[in-house]
């Protein structure tokens, strides 16, 4: 923003956009081929996302370097601002998922071995922080999971 004055009169144009990483990229290589009389398909998914703020910062600093809550106007310590910012920022990461599917019995049965979050990334996928109430909650990504799925056509 060139200008963003909120309803309390605070200039918030320097705050980062919420849930908006600067960069995202995905790569999903896949291979499929015959293995004897069966078909095999291998796939991996790599999703990169640069760091992002999960919830608006809600702080501003005056000319003396004092931090304030942009909603209530109350002073806040620099340590609290730093802690809030760290807890509220999802760091850059690569999420990795993969699967392998073999199709057997003339295409009637698919057996898939799959894995999600293979690097066991433990970042925040959602958060809600209300500095004025000194309250916050965050949800951490599901841990590494893996399993097998079978599909049968009758």
pLDDT at 144: 96
Provide mean pLDDT across the span 129-137.
65
Q: Is 56 left (phi over 0), alpha (psi -120 to 50) or beta?
A: beta
Task: Report which of residues 127 and 94 the model is more confident about.
Answer: 94
- pTM for this one? 0.72
Highest mean pLDDT among 12-26, 34-48, 76-90, 127-141: 34-48
Percent of the chain residues topping a pLDDT of 70: 89
List the beta strands (DSSP E) in the chain: 24-27, 30-35, 38-49, 52-53, 59-61, 67-69, 75-76, 89-90, 93-104, 109-116, 124-130, 135-140, 145-152
Cα-Cα-Cα-Cα dihedral sign, residues 99, 105, 106, 109: negative
57-114 pLDDT per residue, tens:
677 778 788 888 877 778 988 888 888 877 778 889 999 999 999 999 989 999 999 9
């Amino acid at each position: 923003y060139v200008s963003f004055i909120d309803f309390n009169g605070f200039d918030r144009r320097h705050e980062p956009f919420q849930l908006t990483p600067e960069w995202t990229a995905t790569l999903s290589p896949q291979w499929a081929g015959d293995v004897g009389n069966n078909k095999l398909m291998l796939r991996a998914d790599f999703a990169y996302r640069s760091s992002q703020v999960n919830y608006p910062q809600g702080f501003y600093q005056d000319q003396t370097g004092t931090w304030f809550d942009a909603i209530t106007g109350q002073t806040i310590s620099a340590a609290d601002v730093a802690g809030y910012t760290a807890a509220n920022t999802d760091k850059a990461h690569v999420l990795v998922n993969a699967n392998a599917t073999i199709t057997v019995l003339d295409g009637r049965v698919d057996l898939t071995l799959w894995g999600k979050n293979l690097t066991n990334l433990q970042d925040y996928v959602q958060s809600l922080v209300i500095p004025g109430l000194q309250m916050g909650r965050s949800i951490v990504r599901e841990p590494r999971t893996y399993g097998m799925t079978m599909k049968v056509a009758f």
